[in-house]
Chains A and B, each alone.
Chain A
Amino acid sequence: MTAVEEPAQRRGGRRGRGGRGEVSLVPEMAPTSYYGQPVIKHPIWTPEIGIYFFTGGLAGGSAMLAAAARAQGNDVLARRALLTSLASLAVSPPLLIKDLGRPERFYNMLRVFKVTSPMSVGSWVLTGIGGAVGVASACEVLGILPRVKRVAEVGGALLGPPLATYTAVLLADTAVPAWHEARYELPFVFAGSALASAGAAACVLTPPQCARMARALTVGGAALELAGVEAMQRRVPTEVGEPYRSGTPGKFGRAARALTGTGALTVALAGRRRRPAVLGGLAVLAGAMCERWAVFTAGRASAAEPRYTVEPQRRRVEQRQRQSADSRTPPPQPAAVKAATDTKS
């Protein structure tokens, strides 16, 4: 057993030259991965998915706003919110289907229902809310069946929150460190962003005297979104959260916060003036899209860099080894690993 004292050199050969001074033509191994290659696979989802996160949120929030406005007797706002929801729902399935490797098999999404698959849950939610909002919109436009419209609208409003938040679980439920480690905040970011974009779209489309609820929703949603992002920045470990701060996702994240913040402020101060409400609303919508894009691209950056995957796991292993060494009853296998990793001897 003593014949294997390791030189003070860890994981992977770091010396470029062998003992006889020859130059190695093989690239040096990064200490934490195989030739610097990613450990996990790159998320292969196309940009359509990032856009869908926005349209899904807008559709869910707008379905809720429509029902709330109707309950208040504000038919002008209800109609616009309902049709906004319909329009966002109409573009969502094509975006999702386009991403599939076998688009002609899209209907297999409804082959089973699995709570372990956020995508399965989401497919059913999207189907349900699509039907509800579709029926409600048809009744609204044709001016028929008011009771059916009411029921369908309420159904759509109930499915709005699941539609807007399941996408956050979809991302968190992966091996991508930046997504999985943000699992406590992402649903709130997406929820706030969905409310803000629903309010903002209504601000853009509705005469100001009928858009008071939309303005309040824009401001409240933006506050929730920004609070969620802030909480995420604070809690997610610095290293794993790095992709959210640097590079393309960092830029989109900063743009999202600037647009959402100034947009919401503009809407709040707009009162009954149309132009600031429209400009503020557009800024909030752009901010919501940027936020989704920041999260979407942060996952790609996170997957591409092996140390984001390896280092937190390595620390867990080392912590367990310390604990088992402390308890002085080391199980055989960690002891072997310990011997291999112990470089101080």
Chain B
Amino acid sequence: MSNSLNGMPTIVSHDVDVRAHDENGRPRHMGFFTDTSICIGCKACEVACKEWNDVPDDGLNFLGKSYDNTGSLGASTWRHVAFIEQTKPLPMAGAQDAGAMRWLMSSDVCKHCAHAACLDVCPTGALTRTEFGTVFVQPDVCNGCGYCVPACPFGVIDRREGDGRAWKCTMCYDRQRIDMEPACAQACPTKSIQYGEIGELRRRADERVQTLHDRGVAQAHLYGRDPEDGVGGFGAFFLLLDEPEVYGLPPDPVVTTRDLGEMWSVAAAAALAMVAGVAAAFLRSR
């Protein structure tokens, strides 16, 4: 991979090309690959996200859920590090103590679905698809109708108290536009969060899974990598070491609007039933 563009130095880190534009200045489809097998739970991503995006605090709470005092993604939490304590041996060869505990950590984020329910149901057009293939809420358009909130199959987007608008991860759209990588990825000290062109990330993720399988970590699998899944693949996908629901993720998410044609047809049939009902009442009372 070239580290220069026409001889100019470019910003490259994590040895993935983080420029959101190609050599001709055309936008590329960008994404996140979050490799949870090397997450150390430092929460640098949460902090960097808040700092860069001016996201307000969402309560300084002690939740008593391992090291997680953030809870879940929301209007004011765009990266959330989950901590899962399990009485399971570590997945490496030689770690066979049945009473051992393992600790899973995972930095969750908006999935930037290829078929995004939030975007589909938004009545104002505030939610849009950016030139980088991500899903973005335009704060100057959103009127806080709240439809995107129950539409998201992952429970990512939410309306901010006091502000009234819906907010979520923008994949640092402002940084993408000037070929910088998002704040969370830049802050991640272990390369658990990788940012780059989506095809390149998928190739790296496949290699990583193979490496882990070769090392005996058979549970390692990719979540959201498949463009054929219920949401058309995630723009931000994950390598997980247990089933998705353990991390609070739905095991088989489906974009609700996949069934919308069918739903409109049923509504049309119900509307015709109303017409028939009125006609019947009309004839009965003549």
> Which residue numbers of A lie inside 8 Å of B, CB to CB?
1-4, 6-7, 9, 11-15, 18-20, 24-27, 29, 32-35, 37-45, 60-61, 64-65, 68, 71-72, 99-103, 105-106, 108-109, 111-112, 114-120, 123, 160-162, 164-166, 168-170, 172-176, 179-180, 183-184, 187-188, 190-192, 194-195, 199, 212-217, 220-221, 224, 299, 303, 306, 309-310, 313-314, 316-317, 333, 336-337, 339-341
Residues of chain B within 8 A of A101, CB atoms compared: 142-146, 159-160, 163-166
Tell me if B149 and A114 are in contact (CB < 8 A). no
Give bound CA distance, A64 to B142, whole Å.
34
Complex: chain B residue closest to A104, CB-CB: B143
Give bound CA distance, A162 to B150, whole Å.
22
Tell me if B71 and A173 are in contact (CB < 8 A). no
Give bound CA distance, A224 to B249, whole Å.
38
Known: A123-B123, A340-B221. A175 touches B274 (CB 8 A): no
Tell me if B125 and A112 are in contact (CB < 8 A). yes
Interface majority SS (helix, strand, loop, mixed), chain A: helix
Tell me if B284 and A102 are in contact (CB < 8 A). no
Tell me if B252 and A165 are in contact (CB < 8 A). no
Tell me if A175 and B152 are in contact (CB < 8 A). yes
Known: A38-B155, A72-B286, A217-B278. A339 touches B219 (CB 8 A): yes
Number of A-B contacts (CB under 8 A): 327
Known: A12-B246, A175-B152. A169 touches B85 (CB 8 A): no
Q: Would you list which residues of chain B between 51 and 74 have a CB under 8 Å from chain A?
A: 64-66, 68, 71-72, 74
Tell me if B267 and A32 are in contact (CB < 8 A). no
Tell me if B124 and A4 are in contact (CB < 8 A). no
Closest chain A CB from B78 CB (angstroms): 14
**Digit string of B131-144 for contact with A (CB within 8 Å is 1, else 0)?**
00000000001111
Give bound CA distance, A213 to B262, whole Å.
33
Tell me if B245 and A11 are in contact (CB < 8 A). yes
Could you write out 23 A-B pairs with CB less than 8 Å apart? A3-B93, A19-B97, A26-B66, A33-B245, A40-B152, A41-B158, A65-B278, A72-B286, A99-B145, A101-B164, A109-B145, A112-B123, A116-B260, A120-B123, A161-B271, A165-B268, A190-B270, A213-B282, A299-B150, A313-B251, A314-B252, A336-B219, A336-B221
Complex: chain A residue closest to B214, CB-CB: A1
Give bound CA distance, A19 to B101, whole Å.
9
Tell me if A220 and B150 are in contact (CB < 8 A). no
Tell me if B266 and A187 are in contact (CB < 8 A). yes
Give bound CA distance, A316 to B89, whole Å.
28
Known: A65-B278, A119-B121. A40 touches B219 (CB 8 A): no
Tell me if B64 and A174 are in contact (CB < 8 A). no
Complex: chain A residue closest to B221, CB-CB: A336
Closest chain B CB from A340 CB (angstroms): 4
Residues of chain B within 8 A of A115, CB atoms compared: 260, 264
Give bound CA distance, A174 to B219, whole Å.
31
Closest chain B CB from A317 CB (angstroms): 5
**Digit string of B196-240 for contact with A (CB within 8 Å is 1, else 0)?**
000000000000010001001111111001100000000000000
Give bound CA distance, A42 to B161, whole Å.
14
Tell me if B251 and A310 are in contact (CB < 8 A). yes
Tell me if B219 and A4 are in contact (CB < 8 A). yes
Residues of chain B within 8 A of A166, CB atoms compared: 267
Tell me if A1 and B218 are in contact (CB < 8 A). yes
Tell me if A336 and B277 are in contact (CB < 8 A). no
Interface: B91 (CB within 8 A)? yes
Give bound CA distance, A214 to B281, whole Å.
8
Give bound CA distance, A221 to B68, whole Å.
52
Known: A6-B88, A109-B145. A161 touches B274 (CB 8 A): yes
Tell me if B256 and A9 are in contact (CB < 8 A). no
Residues of chain B within 8 A of A29, CB atoms compared: 84-86, 246
Closest chain B CB from A104 CB (angstroms): 8
Tell me if A309 and B86 are in contact (CB < 8 A). no
Known: A11-B242, A173-B121. A3 touches B144 (CB 8 A): no
Known: A26-B65, A33-B245. A173 touches B151 (CB 8 A): yes
Tell me if A7 and B88 are in contact (CB < 8 A). yes
Tell me if A220 and B281 are in contact (CB < 8 A). yes
Residues of chain A within 8 A of B86, CB atoms compared: 12-13, 29
Interface: B273 (CB within 8 A)? yes
Q: Would you list which residues of chain B between 17 and 58 have a CB under 8 Å from chain A?
A: none
Tell me if A217 and B281 are in contact (CB < 8 A). yes
Complex: chain A residue closest to B100, CB-CB: A19
Known: A40-B154, A191-B271, A340-B242. A313 touches B252 (CB 8 A): yes
Complex: chain B residue closest to A312, CB-CB: B252
Interface: B263 (CB within 8 A)? yes
Residues of chain B within 8 A of A173, CB atoms compared: 121, 151, 256-257, 259-260, 263
Tell me if B278 and A3 are in contact (CB < 8 A). no
The 8 A-B residue pairs whose C-beta atoms are closest, nearest first, are A101-B144, A19-B99, A101-B164, A34-B248, A161-B271, A187-B270, A105-B143, A3-B93
Closest chain A CB from B261 CB (angstroms): 9
Tell me if A112 and B252 are in contact (CB < 8 A). no
Closest chain B CB from A32 CB (angstroms): 5
Known: A4-B219, A183-B263, A216-B280. A317 touches B252 (CB 8 A): yes
